[in-house]
Structure 1
Amino acid sequence: MVITSISPLWFHKGDGISEVALSLHCFLQENEVNSSLLHSNNNKTKLFPMSNTTLSSMVDSNVFGFSSFSCFLKYVYCSKSDNFILHGVFQKELLLSAIILILKRKNFLIIPHSSLNITTYTNFPLYKRCVFKVISKFILKKAKAVIYLNENELNNSVYKGNNFALISNGVSTGSFKDIYEPDPKVLKLCYLGRYDINHKGLDRLIRFLSFLKVNYPDLKWSVDMFGSDSKNGKKALLDLIRSLSLENNININGPVFGEEKQECLARCDLFVLTSRYEGMPIAVLEALAQGKKCLLTKETNMLEPLLQKGFAIEFCSSDYDKTAMQLLNYMNVSQEVKKREAEEIHTYAKLNFSWSNIALKYRRVLEGKK
């Protein structure tokens, strides 16, 4: 089977779409698929340093960049592949590729990567809403399937067509770094992601931590944050931290990748993500793969299934006391129980989110199988 994926790729930062596109491409090859990946924003990527060597090392001879937009479209038009996977919705490269594929009667899947989320849609400028109406009537309905990561993303989508499939993101689950010797008196939290204050809900998190410091002084805590400043939110974040006198509790760091990222996760008690909207955040899957319980908002789309397993704590943005009490309860759990729970979380991630199984599901959808 021949499958061609089309995706923007960024190597100067941690980028969930790039990681998904490259990982899926690699594991499709392991599932005996002749897989290729078209780098739709090659000229833009060249403007930035290649800092994320973990992602760039995944680029193989079947990942193609193009010198111009016209060369990219010509390649799509002339491609002999009958099956395509499009990562994203609104980029012009993807829109025009989809139109070409429809005209040439090709099979294609669309992975929206949260771009059809109703929260995102309400913030669209008028021109983008008009574009969506055209897309929903023509492109999305012609896709073999629109791929949602879970039922929450499906239910929160502005597109209501029946041509959908549910396939989660994946994660590398091979290594489990059980290296952390916790301090039972201090709760260590870890955040991985962009310093995008509104999207990632970092203002929510910082204000909760201020509340925690004032109202629960006996609960000792620290937060290590790792991320890129691609959305230019770092200065505002630092200003907020200083204004609330939290600079001694919160450490702001640059992005980490690969082994270093795994070690950062391994050295914390809880991973925290307080986003206002997500599809299925890779960072949460990476934390689970390291056996970490997660402090999450419901908008991360990961809270409900993890709560059912006992692998998450709900961050209640409207009830700080409830969140604080759950953290106190967590601190009172014995280290023996926490260690056993970490092993269970890692096993859960391995069974449900391994890339090898995810790639097989994509192949089956393109083949018309359930």
Structure 2
Amino acid sequence: MEIIHLILGKANPERMNGVNKVVHEMATRQCESGENVEVWGITNHPVHDYPVRSFTTRLFQSERNIFWLSDVLKKEISAKQKGTIFHLHGGFIPQMYSASMWMKKNKIPFIITPHGSYNKIAMLKNKFLKQLYFHFFERKMLSAANSIHSLGQSEIDGLQSVFPNDKSVLIPYGLESLKELVQWKNTGEFIVGYCGRLDLYTKGLIELLQGFALFRQEQTGAKLWIIGDGKDQDKEKLIKVATAMNIQNSIVFFGSRYGEEKNILLLHINVLAVPSRNEGLPTVVLEAAAMGIPCLVTRATNTGDYINRYIAGIVIEHTDPNEIHYGLKRLYYAMQTEIGTQAIRANARRMIKEAFDWKLILGRFHKLYEA
């Protein structure tokens, strides 16, 4: 069986795009387990300028019209014989719609992972345009798909409300083996960390600053580290909000960091905060938990059930400053003793080891492809 992941981009893990990072990790693990796997990327710049990887990557030039596929890509899809299955990544992407229709015409099976595109909050953004697009394009693609893979229950629920189906399958992504637990350096500070795109609304960053400001009124030594980049105006707005609340001296903007440089920063934080309104399955939560870092997450991250089950952090219901403040306060007091800190850190690592074991997850994907 041959598995081909089709994405926009190059599956470069050194980018803030979560889909690219997830596909890179998944293809790497599938390759290591003996699967015949490739990644095909549609890109404006089809140059292989990414780190060395174990799987084959093929890049195809994107067309000026986003609904068009290059003749080369169409020819390569058509050439695939029985025993090949395509795994499409991303929702509301015209290129994926066109590729799916071409696969349907050539009787080639495919599954699709929308990566959070169908949960109810995501569907509200540009609601009218999404309703039109869904009616004319997305519905046809989903009807043609053999399976619809979701990373969390919120996406299955959202899709069922607009496209009732029996194709939905919930499988989380895994994480690489746990590294040796590194002890925190006790600096006397309590550092709250955020790592991801600076998307103010989706990621709940204004509310994070507001919740942190309330927390800092009680814990004046607290710091907020923001790792990641986005639109210049979003960062400028965050700085203005921080200045208006007089917490600008307690916030550090690190910009984008990747690989070990990012990991070194994460190892200094006490709590990772992910107050998103919409996610598929944020890999940074898994990365942090694997380091023994407790997380404050919203239900919308699709990690809440795991966090609660393993007592690996705090789950809040809404992207709300008061809930963020309350969650940070609970974690702060839970970690004021050595016993409490070690227990919650151990729980976070056990969650990754048991619930996000790649061996088990790859087995579930293999059965899905075979089906």
Deviations 1:2-41 (A, max 9, x none): 1111011254632210011122212222222211111122
Conserved 8 A contact 1:195-1:231 = no
What does residue range 189-200 of structure 1 map to in structure 2 within 5 Å?
189-200=192-203
Work out the CA distance in 1 between the residues paired with 2:241 and 2:235.
10
Change (3 A) 1:92 1:338: same
Deviations 1:142-182 (A, max 9, x none): 21110011223312334331101111022223423414223
Q: Structure 2 residue aligned with 1:206, among 205, 209, 231?
A: 209
Counterpart amino acid of residue 153 in structure 1: E
Decide whether aligned partners of structure 1 residues 213 and 266 sit closer, same or farther in structure 2, where only a CA change above 3 A counts: closer
**AA paired with 1:166?**
L
Q: Taking structure 2 as the reference length, what is the TM-score of the superposition? A: 0.88
Deviation string 1:183-231 (CA, Å, 9 cap, x unpaired) is 4x532111100111111000001111222233x2x45311111002257
2:255 corresponds to 1:275: no
CA distance in structure 1 between the aligned counterparts of 2:216 and 2:224, rounded to whole angstroms: 12
CA distance in 2, matches of 1:259, 1:13: 14
Residue type at the aligned position of 2:56 = N
Single out whichever of 196-205 and 225-234 deviates more from structure 2. 225-234
Q: Aligned partner of 2:172: which letter?
A: S
> In the aligned structure 1, how far is the partner of 2:328 from the partner of 2:193?
16
Offset from partner CA, 1:321-351 (integer Å, 9 cap, x none): 633541442243x123312432332132022
Q: Tell me how far apart the structure 1 counterparts of residues 321 and 229 of structure 2 sit (CA, whole Å).
A: 28
- The 8 Å contact of residues 213 and 247 in structure 2, kept in 1 or not, is answered as yes
Deviation at 1:90, TM superposition (A): 2.1
Residue number among 356, 361, 366 corresponding to 1:353 in the alignment? 356
Amino acid at match of 2:26: L
- Bigger CA drift: 197-206 or 116-125? 116-125
Are 1:166 and 2:170 an aligned pair?
A: yes
How far does the alpha carbon of each residue in 1:281-333 deviate from its partner, in whole angstroms, 9 at most, with x for none? 1111111111111011222221233123211113462645633541442243x
How does the TM-score come out when normalised to structure 1? 0.88
For the structure 1 residues 133 and 208, does the alpha-carbon distance in structure 2 shift closer, same or farther, using more than 3 Å as the test?
same
> More displaced, 261-270 or 71-80?
71-80
Structure 2 CA distance for aligned equivalents of residues 123 and 57 of structure 1: 34
Q: Secondary structure at the match of 2:285?
A: helix
CA distance, structure 2, for counterparts of residue 67 and residue 339 of structure 1 = 50
| CA distance in 1 between partners of 2:279 and 2:232 (Å) | 16
CA offsets per residue over residues 232-260 of structure 1, 9 Å max, x none?
52111112111211111110111111122
Counterpart residue number, 1:66: 60
Amino acid at match of 1:28: Q
1:237 counterpart residue number: 238
Q: In the TM superposition, what whole-angstrom CA distance separates every residue of 1:109-137 from its partner, at most 9, and x where no partner exists?
A: 10001111221212225343222123454
Farther off after superposition, 221-230 or 66-75: 66-75
**Structure 1, 250-259 or 226-235: larger mean CA deviation:** 226-235
Name 1:227's counterpart in structure 2.
228
Gap change, CA 1:312 and 1:58, over 3 Å in 2: farther
Q: How far apart, CA to CA, are the structure 2 residues paired with 1:336 and 1:61?
A: 43
Distance change (3 Å), C-alpha of 1:127 and 1:297: closer
Amino acid in structure 1 at the alignment position of 2:259: G
Unaligned runs of 5+ in 2: 63-69
2:20 to 7, 18, 21: 18
C-alpha separation in 2, matches of 1:59 and 1:232: 35
Structure 1 residue 45, shift from structure 2 partner: 6.8
Query: Do the aligned residues in 1 keep the contact of 2:103 with 2:109 (CA within 8 Å)?
Result: yes
- TM superposition shift of 1:264: 1.6
Q: Percent same amino acid at aligned positions?
A: 21
For residue 236 of structure 1, what is the amino acid of its counterpart? K
In 2, the alpha carbon distance for the partners of 1:325 and 1:100 equals 53
What is the Cα-based RMSD across aligned positions, in Å? 2.4
Which runs of 5 or more residues in structure 1 are unaligned? 51-55
Partner of 2:198, secondary structure, is coil
Q: C-alpha separation between the residues in 2 aligned to 1:45 and 1:233?
A: 29
